[in-house]
Structure 1
Amino acid sequence: MSTPYPKPIDPAATRIGWIGIGVMGAAMASRLLAAGYSLTIYARTPSKATHLQSQGAHIVNSPSDLAQNTDIIFTMLGHPSDVRQIVLDKTSGILAGLKPNGVMVDHTSSHPLLAKEIFKSARERDCWAVDAPVSGGDIGARDGKLAIFAAGDKRVVEWLSPLFELMGKATYLGGAGCGQSCKIANQITVAANTLGLSEGLVFAEKAGLNVEQYLEAIKKGAAGSNVMELLGKRIIERDYKPGGFAEYLVKDLGMGVDGEIGQVLPGAALCQQLYIGMVANGDGKLGMQGLISVIERLNGK
């Protein structure tokens, strides 16, 4: 069985491709450029790549063109359907062009079964696939402090560590699909924390408390969380700039509550319904912290 070894990853020699330059993807790609890596991009909307081009990134016309000229490709897309098209299209997809021993890393929050399918297809082409969704939002992406949930062949994940370390902290979760399963569980937890934070703030304000003082008082107690650190101030200031779109959380929670592995998750189902309400209000492109707007509407505000 061939592997990408023993050749180590090296900024002077390793060619990296990137697909998906939204809020998170652009920040992650920028960190690789800043570390001296050669980066080539495929963008469905090339104008969005201007900032990265100014840092030295190059642009190509299709995922398969990208694959033919790189050793490792990262994807950071919106939906599993996007991943399927970009990776598995028989003519223009990544795996149609990736050379033997090439590696693709999917940072998209996608479906575990699709991750397994991609891993299998990659191995049939003598390539490697890693599912490695992330958590930490736009701030974590910018500062290189993302939690990275990596799965696939353990040796390949370890080989990728110099790149993962530029973006955050990677944890190996197991075989293909385990990274995506971890991300779904992560999103269930994040959504529950965001709902609790939002309802606590609505209650505190109604009770006449100073909400800034309220958050300061509780953040070191049992109610404190990273969600509070990341989103608390933003919520109070009504800063709903997205680290990840609310509509994506609807998708992520949906993959958790679909019952595929026999689980019953009433809290996650409730959170999904509230986020669906947020999307229905026209706020799907806002950040997940905008959930408080739904709670406020329910309270007549």
Structure 2
Amino acid sequence: MRPETLAYDRDCGLAITKRDTSPGGQEIMSKQFDVAVLGTGLMGVPMARNLLKSGLSVTAWNRTLDKAKPLVAEGATVTDTAALAIADADIIVTMLSDGYATGALLADAAFCEHLKPGMIWIDMSSAKPEHAREQSAQLARMGISHLDAPVSGGTRGAEAATLAIMVGGDKDVLEQVKPILSAMGQPVHVGPSGSGQLCKLANQTIVAVTISAVAEATLLAQQGGADPMALRSALKGGFADSVILQQHGERMSEGNFAPGGLCKFQLKDLDNTLEEARSLGIELPNTQSVRDRFKYLIDEMAGAELDHSALYLELKKRNKMS
């Protein structure tokens, strides 16, 4: 018998399939896949919702329980503790604030009692590459496979199941759980353990610097008398076009900074990027500059809980316009 793999069945959705390789053998559907989703915040809820839509059995947990409860109406089981959430799980999906939050679970004896050899842990949180590597090694000693699979695409991507998913770890493990990740977006294997987090840091560098550029372009257009909406339409399809220009440029011109991607998490990612850069002996001047601006926005303008497009507010204050 080869290892269990995932398959899709019209009646029971994503499930484990055992393949019998003996003469005359056939595929035998053994059971539906049970997934524990730990962390149901702005991103975790729509991600869990898409797993449910794909036919998976989902048990959810969140530190603030009320954030997980809406999933009950859609077929999920919600538990009071993370330990109970993973008790019957085959797959653990974590979408937590950072690697420290994931590490706190692994330091909890009651939680670890429910970890079983053969489980696969997919950490979709944004964390330091070193945390991913350390946690992968710790879980490997327990017979548990680990993938670091952070995402990009924000809440809209989470809702539409179009997230970019950067996967570090064993490629064979990714193949086993690819249907699960594909229910949430587009998974791409980017290298060994920690590589997913490294690519997420690269992603966040591009996002933050581009937000800064879009903010400057939007302010320039507005102050010069051009219509920012017309600007975005005029640039659509050209070299300057991007999701950030279209989505966050609209937020900036409308003054809508209700959170999608939080400023405090953008700052955390930029701090992690710069720490990783220092360890590699390289300088990232644009990243450092935009990091300092997010720090000011959070510390001096109470912007921690705003969408990261609110860097536009920092730019306006810099220009004595607020």
TM-score class, shorter-chain normalisation, is: over 0.9
Cα distance per residue 1:11-35 (max 9 Å; x no partner) = 5611000111111111100111122
Cα distance per residue 1:94-114 (max 9 Å; x no partner) = x44221110111111101001
Deviation at 1:7, TM superposition (A): 3.7
**1:279 is paired with a residue of what secondary structure?**
helix
1:192 aligns with 2:209: yes
1:291 aligns with 2:311: yes
- The one-letter code sitting in structure 1 at the alignment partner of 2:109 is T
Of 74, 82, 90, 1:55 maps to 74
1:101 aligns with 2:118: yes
- Cα contact 2:232–2:246 (8 A) shared by 1: no
The TM-score with structure 1 as length reference comes to: 0.94
- Cα contact 2:6–2:177 (8 A) shared by 1: no
Aligned partner of 1:75 in structure 2 is: 94
Give the distance between the partners of 2:110 and 2:312, measured in 1 at CA.
Answer: 42
1:242 aligns with 2:262: no
Aligned partner of 2:138 in structure 1 is: 121
Deviation at 1:90, TM superposition (A): 4.3
**1:183 is paired with a residue of what secondary structure?**
helix
| CA spacing shift, 1:204–1:154, aligned 2, 3 Å | same
Cα distance per residue 1:28-86 (max 9 Å; x no partner) = 00111122211111221111112101111112233233222100010011122211102
1:183 aligns with 2:203: no
Aligned partner of 1:138 in structure 2 is: 155
Aligned partner of 2:4 in structure 1 is: 6
Give the distance between the partners of 2:266 and 2:247, measured in 1 at CA.
Answer: 16
Give the distance between the partners of 2:141 and 2:100, measured in 1 at CA.
Answer: 21
1:217 aligns with 2:234: yes
Give the distance between the partners of 2:60 and 2:230, measured in 1 at CA.
Answer: 45
1:65 aligns with 2:84: yes
Of 295, 305, 310, 1:276 maps to 295
**1:8 is paired with a residue of what secondary structure?**
strand
1:46 aligns with 2:65: yes
Deviation at 1:211, TM superposition (A): 1.3
Give the distance between the partners of 2:99 and 2:137, measured in 1 at CA.
Answer: 16
Cα distance per residue 1:168-198 (max 9 Å; x no partner) = 1011011110000000010001111100000
- The one-letter code sitting in structure 1 at the alignment partner of 2:218 is L
- Cα contact 1:257–1:263 (8 A) shared by 2: no
- Cα contact 1:243–1:287 (8 A) shared by 2: yes
Deviation at 1:226, TM superposition (A): 2.1
Size of the aligned set, in residue pairs, is: 297
Of 197, 214, 220, 1:203 maps to 220
- Cα contact 1:150–1:170 (8 A) shared by 2: yes
> Would you tell me which structure has more strand in proportion to its own residues?
2
Question: Which one has more relative contact order, counting CA pairs under 8 Å at least 6 apart?
Answer: 1
Aligned partner of 1:256 in structure 2 is: 273
Unaligned ranges ≥5, structure 2: 8-13, 16-30
Give the distance between the partners of 1:92 and 1:225, measured in 2 at CA.
Answer: 45
**2:279 is paired with a residue of what secondary structure?**
coil
CA RMSD of aligned residues (A): 1.6
- Cα contact 1:62–1:92 (8 A) shared by 2: no
Q: Which has the larger radius of gyration?
A: 2
**1:117 is paired with a residue of what secondary structure?**
helix
Aligned partner of 1:33 in structure 2 is: 52
Cα distance per residue 1:197-234 (max 9 Å; x no partner) = 00111111111111111121123222111211332222
Aligned partner of 2:11 in structure 1 is: none
**2:220 is paired with a residue of what secondary structure?**
helix
Give the distance between the partners of 2:244 and 2:228, measured in 1 at CA.
Answer: 16
**Structure 1 residue ranges, 4+ long, deviating more than 3 angstroms after superposition:** none
| CA spacing shift, 1:231–1:212, aligned 2, 3 Å | same
Give the distance between the partners of 1:47 and 1:282, measured in 2 at CA.
Answer: 25
- The one-letter code sitting in structure 2 at the alignment partner of 1:282 is A
- Cα contact 1:151–1:172 (8 A) shared by 2: yes
